[in-house]
Amino acid sequence: MQNSRIKILKTEILSDNWYTLNKVTFNIQKKDGTTETQSREAYDRGNGAVILLYNAITNTVILTRQFRLPTYINGNTTGMLIEACAGLLDNDNPEDCIKRETEEETGYKISKVEKVFEAYMSPGSVTEILHFFIAEYSNEMKITNGGGLEEEGENIEVLELSFDKALTMIDSGEIKDAKTIMLLQYLRLKNII
Protein backbone atom coordinates (compact mmCIF):
# COMPACT_ATOMS: atom_id res chain seq x y z
CA MET A 1 0.00 0.00 0.00
CA GLN A 2 1.37 3.40 -0.98
CA ASN A 3 1.93 6.03 1.71
CA SER A 4 -0.71 8.72 1.15
CA ARG A 5 1.54 11.29 2.88
CA ILE A 6 4.14 11.06 0.06
CA LYS A 7 3.75 12.36 -3.50
CA ILE A 8 6.61 11.96 -5.96
CA LEU A 9 6.87 15.13 -8.06
CA LYS A 10 9.90 14.43 -10.25
CA THR A 11 12.63 11.82 -10.73
CA GLU A 12 15.85 12.76 -12.55
CA ILE A 13 18.58 10.30 -13.50
CA LEU A 14 21.90 11.76 -12.36
CA SER A 15 23.99 8.77 -13.45
CA ASP A 16 23.44 5.35 -14.97
CA ASN A 17 27.05 4.37 -15.60
CA TRP A 18 27.15 1.30 -13.34
CA TYR A 19 23.78 1.36 -11.60
CA THR A 20 21.26 4.20 -11.38
CA LEU A 21 21.57 7.31 -9.23
CA ASN A 22 18.25 9.19 -9.12
CA LYS A 23 17.39 12.59 -7.71
CA VAL A 24 13.81 12.44 -6.45
CA THR A 25 11.76 15.52 -5.58
CA PHE A 26 8.66 14.80 -3.50
CA ASN A 27 6.07 16.31 -1.19
CA ILE A 28 5.79 14.88 2.31
CA GLN A 29 3.01 15.60 4.74
CA LYS A 30 4.48 16.27 8.19
CA LYS A 31 2.96 15.32 11.56
CA ASP A 32 1.36 18.77 11.93
CA GLY A 33 -0.46 18.31 8.60
CA THR A 34 1.63 20.76 6.59
CA THR A 35 3.31 19.68 3.37
CA GLU A 36 6.99 20.16 2.63
CA THR A 37 8.86 19.65 -0.64
CA GLN A 38 12.11 17.71 -0.29
CA SER A 39 14.73 16.38 -2.65
CA ARG A 40 16.91 13.30 -2.05
CA GLU A 41 19.28 11.13 -4.06
CA ALA A 42 18.78 7.37 -4.13
CA TYR A 43 21.16 4.82 -5.60
CA ASP A 44 19.38 1.86 -7.23
CA ARG A 45 21.60 -1.17 -7.77
CA GLY A 46 18.87 -3.79 -7.50
CA ASN A 47 18.20 -6.17 -4.64
CA GLY A 48 20.59 -8.82 -3.41
CA ALA A 49 21.12 -11.95 -1.38
CA VAL A 50 23.79 -12.99 1.10
CA ILE A 51 24.64 -16.33 2.70
CA LEU A 52 26.77 -17.65 5.50
CA LEU A 53 27.94 -21.23 5.00
CA TYR A 54 28.60 -23.10 8.23
CA ASN A 55 29.69 -26.56 9.28
CA ALA A 56 28.26 -27.54 12.67
CA ILE A 57 30.55 -30.56 12.97
CA THR A 58 33.84 -28.69 12.45
CA ASN A 59 32.52 -25.35 13.84
CA THR A 60 33.73 -23.50 10.74
CA VAL A 61 32.32 -20.91 8.38
CA ILE A 62 33.12 -19.95 4.79
CA LEU A 63 33.84 -16.28 4.10
CA THR A 64 35.39 -14.43 1.19
CA ARG A 65 37.98 -11.68 0.85
CA GLN A 66 38.05 -9.21 -2.03
CA PHE A 67 38.96 -5.64 -2.93
CA ARG A 68 36.16 -3.11 -2.31
CA LEU A 69 36.92 0.33 -3.74
CA PRO A 70 34.51 2.30 -1.51
CA THR A 71 36.24 0.97 1.62
CA TYR A 72 39.64 1.89 0.17
CA ILE A 73 38.46 5.44 -0.56
CA ASN A 74 37.16 5.67 3.01
CA GLY A 75 40.40 4.75 4.76
CA ASN A 76 40.72 0.96 4.49
CA THR A 77 44.40 1.02 3.53
CA THR A 78 44.31 -2.29 1.62
CA GLY A 79 40.74 -2.05 0.37
CA MET A 80 40.32 -5.76 1.15
CA LEU A 81 37.12 -6.76 2.91
CA ILE A 82 36.16 -10.06 4.51
CA GLU A 83 32.54 -10.86 3.72
CA ALA A 84 29.87 -13.50 3.54
CA CYS A 85 29.15 -14.60 -0.03
CA ALA A 86 26.67 -12.24 -1.71
CA GLY A 87 25.37 -11.03 -5.03
CA LEU A 88 22.68 -9.15 -6.87
CA LEU A 89 19.49 -10.98 -7.81
CA ASP A 90 19.88 -10.28 -11.56
CA ASN A 91 16.24 -11.25 -12.27
CA ASP A 92 16.52 -14.47 -10.22
CA ASN A 93 14.55 -15.21 -7.10
CA PRO A 94 16.67 -14.81 -3.95
CA GLU A 95 17.15 -18.54 -3.37
CA ASP A 96 18.33 -19.29 -6.92
CA CYS A 97 20.57 -16.23 -6.83
CA ILE A 98 22.35 -17.20 -3.64
CA LYS A 99 22.89 -20.78 -4.79
CA ARG A 100 24.47 -19.48 -8.02
CA GLU A 101 26.61 -16.91 -6.18
CA THR A 102 27.75 -19.51 -3.64
CA GLU A 103 29.04 -21.79 -6.38
CA GLU A 104 30.68 -18.94 -8.35
CA GLU A 105 32.35 -17.27 -5.37
CA THR A 106 33.15 -20.13 -2.98
CA GLY A 107 33.12 -23.24 -5.18
CA TYR A 108 30.55 -24.99 -2.95
CA LYS A 109 27.44 -26.42 -4.62
CA ILE A 110 24.63 -26.22 -2.11
CA SER A 111 21.07 -27.44 -2.59
CA LYS A 112 19.37 -26.49 0.67
CA VAL A 113 19.36 -22.93 2.02
CA GLU A 114 17.43 -21.35 4.89
CA LYS A 115 16.21 -17.77 4.60
CA VAL A 116 16.52 -16.06 7.97
CA PHE A 117 15.48 -12.42 7.34
CA GLU A 118 15.57 -9.40 5.01
CA ALA A 119 17.15 -6.02 5.72
CA TYR A 120 17.81 -2.65 4.14
CA MET A 121 21.52 -2.00 4.60
CA SER A 122 21.74 1.74 3.92
CA PRO A 123 18.15 3.02 3.68
CA GLY A 124 19.12 6.69 3.66
CA SER A 125 20.69 6.44 0.22
CA VAL A 126 20.46 2.95 -1.33
CA THR A 127 17.23 1.21 -2.44
CA GLU A 128 18.63 -2.33 -2.09
CA ILE A 129 17.04 -4.87 0.22
CA LEU A 130 19.13 -7.93 1.07
CA HIS A 131 17.75 -11.44 1.55
CA PHE A 132 19.81 -13.21 4.25
CA PHE A 133 20.42 -16.98 4.12
CA ILE A 134 22.39 -19.62 5.98
CA ALA A 135 23.31 -23.11 4.79
CA GLU A 136 25.32 -26.05 6.02
CA TYR A 137 28.31 -27.11 3.96
CA SER A 138 30.66 -30.07 3.87
CA ASN A 139 33.90 -30.77 2.02
CA GLU A 140 32.00 -33.04 -0.39
CA MET A 141 30.10 -29.99 -1.68
CA LYS A 142 33.30 -28.30 -2.89
CA ILE A 143 33.25 -28.71 -6.70
CA THR A 144 35.52 -25.83 -7.85
CA ASN A 145 38.01 -23.40 -6.36
CA GLY A 146 35.47 -20.57 -6.52
CA GLY A 147 36.90 -17.08 -6.82
CA GLY A 148 34.07 -15.44 -8.75
CA LEU A 149 33.61 -14.73 -12.43
CA GLU A 150 36.55 -13.31 -14.37
CA GLU A 151 34.19 -11.50 -16.79
CA GLU A 152 32.75 -9.61 -13.82
CA GLY A 153 36.22 -8.60 -12.65
CA GLU A 154 35.95 -10.75 -9.53
CA ASN A 155 39.10 -11.90 -7.79
CA ILE A 156 37.76 -13.52 -4.63
CA GLU A 157 39.74 -15.42 -2.02
CA VAL A 158 37.80 -18.15 -0.20
CA LEU A 159 38.40 -18.39 3.56
CA GLU A 160 37.46 -21.25 5.88
CA LEU A 161 37.62 -20.02 9.47
CA SER A 162 36.66 -21.38 12.83
CA PHE A 163 33.46 -19.80 14.06
CA ASP A 164 35.25 -18.52 17.19
CA LYS A 165 37.99 -16.94 15.04
CA ALA A 166 35.37 -15.18 12.90
CA LEU A 167 33.68 -13.77 16.01
CA THR A 168 37.07 -12.61 17.32
CA MET A 169 37.70 -10.89 13.98
CA ILE A 170 34.59 -8.78 14.53
CA ASP A 171 35.99 -7.60 17.87
CA SER A 172 39.42 -6.90 16.38
CA GLY A 173 37.98 -4.98 13.43
CA GLU A 174 39.23 -7.47 10.83
CA ILE A 175 35.59 -8.10 9.85
CA LYS A 176 33.77 -4.80 9.26
CA ASP A 177 31.13 -5.83 6.75
CA ALA A 178 27.63 -5.34 8.21
CA LYS A 179 25.92 -8.24 6.43
CA THR A 180 28.66 -10.62 7.57
CA ILE A 181 28.52 -9.41 11.16
CA MET A 182 24.73 -9.81 11.15
CA LEU A 183 24.91 -13.40 9.92
CA LEU A 184 27.70 -14.38 12.33
CA GLN A 185 25.70 -12.88 15.20
CA TYR A 186 22.60 -14.73 13.97
CA LEU A 187 24.44 -18.05 14.21
CA ARG A 188 25.61 -17.11 17.70
CA LEU A 189 22.20 -15.91 18.94
CA LYS A 190 20.40 -18.99 17.62
CA ASN A 191 23.11 -21.37 18.96
CA ILE A 192 23.42 -22.95 15.52
CA ILE A 193 27.12 -23.65 15.98
Instruction: Dump pLDDT digits (tens) for 73-125.
Output: 999 999 999 999 999 998 899 999 999 999 999 999 999 999 999 999 999 99
**Domain-by-domain residue ranges, the chain?**
6-44, 48-189
Instruction: Dump pLDDT digits (tens) for 29-53.
Output: 999 999 999 999 999 999 999 999 9
Tell me the backbone φ, ψ of residue 157, rounded to 5 degrees.
Answer: -95, 130
Q: CB count, 10 Å around CB of 88? A: 16
Report, at the CATH architecture level, how domain 48-189 is classified: Alpha-Beta Complex (3.90)
User: What is each CA distance from 139 to 60, 136, 144, 168, 183, in whole angstroms?
Assistant: 11, 11, 11, 24, 21
The strand order across the sheet containing 35-44 reads 6-15, 20-29, 35-44
User: What is each CA distance from 10 to 116, 124, 161, in whole angstroms?
Assistant: 36, 18, 48
The model carries a pTM of: 0.92
